[in-house]
Structure 1
Amino acid sequence: MLTEQRRQMILDILKREGRALAGELARDWKVSEDTIRRDMREMAAEGLLKRVHGGALPAAPALPDFSARQSMATEEKQRLASAAVRLLSPGQMVFLDGGTTTAEIARQIPQAMALTIVTHAPTLAAEFEHHPAIEVILIGGRLYKHSMVAVGAAAIAAIDRLRPDVFFLGVTAAHPVEGLTTGDFEEAAIKRRILERSAATYVPLTADKLGAVSPCLVAKVPEVTGLIVATGNEPDRLADYREAGVEIVVA
């Protein structure tokens, strides 16, 4: 079997099964396990997959900057946002993470709903300019421009003084075993701290994020309250998440 054939078959297995084990592939294809591992290392270096102990997982797609992401998967994000808003009750403190899906949540919150919105995303805070019933707390710090959110010690200190009722967490990838991940180490630390301070955490997920892995762990799946996913995701794609003990909210 040629190298390119093996590599394409590894990608096919990752797409179909969500993981590829080096030992199993070596036995099935009658090649050495070192050969499979070398293939996976080279593919990981090209960003085609994520290497883990014993094999590989699908890699989360590289994210463009915030402004470019605003036009991606818009209809799906609208459905996720609608389901998220249905989880809210008047009088709550709600922390909105940065991101285009959470920006859509902000747009769908009724103007008459009395809430305290906390966010470390200045562009998202601006969505509430004309919401007379909503108080906005904007967390400051160093601006991480790729996601347009504040990070760093100042942001952590402000977050530690709050106890939100609901946190809508944004991640770049969600895997039932590897957990909820994102691409930046410092941003992951901020997300993790907000989660720890919040009574409930829900994660809206577009279909492309399911089964993928990014470099920096935010939390394991059982650490959050629920995942918000759109209808049309195959039940077998969600079964492992349900087995992890997390609520699945279908948009």
Structure 2
Amino acid sequence: MLAAARKDLILDRLRREGRIVAKELAIELGLSEDSIRRDLRELDAQGLAVRVYGGALPASPAIVDYASRAAVAPDSKRRVAAAAVALIAPGATVILDGGTTTLAMVDALPKSFPCTIITHSPTVAAALLDHAAEVFVIGGQLFKHSAVACGAAAVEAANSVSADAFFLGVTGVHPTAGLTTGHPDEAAMKRALASRAADTYVLASTDKVGTASRFGVLPFDETAGIITDTPAEDPISRELAAAGAVLIHAAERAG
């Protein structure tokens, strides 16, 4: 089998099964494990898979540049955002992560809704200008790929706030890889913000579910729930639940 055909097979298997075990695939195809590992390295370098010990996981499509993310699963993000907003009590203090799903939350939040919002995203803060909510912005070095403040100064500033809830954006939600994102500084900032909230809710539109990125954020048991519109009967939902994730199904919440 030619390398191109092998890679197509690997990508199809990742889409259907959510993981590749290099040793098992090598035996199935009658090839050396080194050949499969080389294919996985090349697919990882192209951003099409994420190599892990013993194999690979599907790469998240949410690691594209910020401007391109708005076009990825917009309807799913709106459903997740509506369900997330329904969890905010009047007068609550909440932390909003950066990203296009949190921007969708701002769109879903009634402009007269009384609450306090803390964010390290200048785009989220700007979108709240005509809302009644009090807004506090955490500063630091701007990470342009995701339009959020990160780094030591941002983490230090985050340690001085507290909130009822944190709405966490990730790029991957996978039964074995857990909650992941594409940059170590972003992952550290997300953990810092989660530590300042009583509850952390994960925003998981369909493009994130079943995929993985390079850097771990939090284990499932440190979150109050994963808000997603992936159907409860979907096999990936069952796998996530078996891994300890609490799923909040957006369609049910929104309805």
- The TM-score range, normalised by the shorter chain, is over 0.9
Cross-structure match for 1:175: 174
Q: Which AA in structure 2 matches 1:42? A: E
The residue that corresponds to 1:227 in the other structure is: 226
Give ranges in structure 1 of 5+ residues lacking alignment: none
Which deviates the most, 71-80 or 197-206? Answer: 71-80
Matches within 5 A, 1:62-141: 63-132=63-132, 134-141=133-140
Which amino acid in 2 is paired with 1:112? S
Alignment match, 2:20: 20
Q: Paired residue for 2:235?
A: 236
Shift of 1:17: 0.5
Q: Is the 8 A contact 1:207 1:233 kept in 2?
A: no
Deviates more, 1:100-109 or 1:38-47: 38-47
User: How many angstroms apart in 2 are the aligned matches of 1:94 and 1:83?
Assistant: 15
Contact 1:18–1:211 (Cα < 8 Å) also in 2: yes
1:151-202 Cα deviation digits (max 9, x unpaired): 1222112211122111111111111111211112211110111112211111
Q: Could you tell me whether the CA contact under 8 Å between 1:202 and 1:228 is conserved in 2?
A: yes
Corresponding residue for residue 191 of structure 1:
190
Counterpart Cα distance in 1 of 2:107 and 2:164: 19
How many pairs align?
A: 250
Aligned equivalents of 1:249, 1:44: Cα separation in 2: 31
Contact 2:172–2:209 (8 Å) recurs in 1: yes
* Higher mean C-alpha displacement, 50-59 vs 23-32: 23-32
Give the share of equivalent positions with the same residue, in percent: 48
Q: For residue 215 of structure 1, report the CA deviation from its aligned partner.
A: 1.5
- Partner secondary structure for residue 209 of structure 1: coil
Q: How far did residue 125 of structure 1 move?
A: 1.2
Go from structure 1 to structure 2 and tell me whether the alpha carbon gap of 1:111 and 1:44 turns closer, same or farther (over 3 Å shift).
closer
Give the letter aligned to residue 51 of structure 2: R
CA contact (8 A) 2:73 2:206 kept: no
In 1, the alpha carbon distance for the partners of 2:68 and 2:15 equals 25
Question: Structure 1's 2 and 236: CA in aligned 2 closer, same or farther, altered over 3 A?
Answer: same
Shift of the 123–41 alpha-carbon distance from structure 1 to 2, 3 Å rule, reads closer
For 1:175 and 1:14, how far apart are their aligned partners in 2? 12
Asked if 1 retains the 8 angstrom alpha-carbon contact of 2:141 and 2:151, the reply is yes
Specify the alignment match of 2:253 in structure 1. Answer: none
TM-score scaled by structure 2?
0.91
**Alpha-carbon offset, residue 237 of structure 1:** 1.2
Q: Which runs of 5+ in 2 are unaligned?
A: 251-255
Runs of 4+ in 1 over 4 A off after TM superposition: 231-234
1:166 and 1:202 in contact (8 A); partners too: yes
The change in CA–CA distance for 1:6 and 1:215 in structure 2 (over 3 A counts) is same
1:4-43: CA deviations, max 9, x gaps?
3322221111111000111111222222222222222232
Alpha-carbon distance change, 174 to 199 in structure 1, aligned in 2, over 3 angstroms = same
- 2:58 corresponds in structure 1 to 58
Q: Which amino acid aligns with 1:74?
A: P
For structure 1, which segment, 241-250 or 82-91, has the greater mean C-alpha deviation from structure 2 after superposition?
241-250
Amino acid at match of 1:212: T
Partner of 2:145, secondary structure, is: coil
Instruction: Show the counterpart of 2:213.
Output: 214
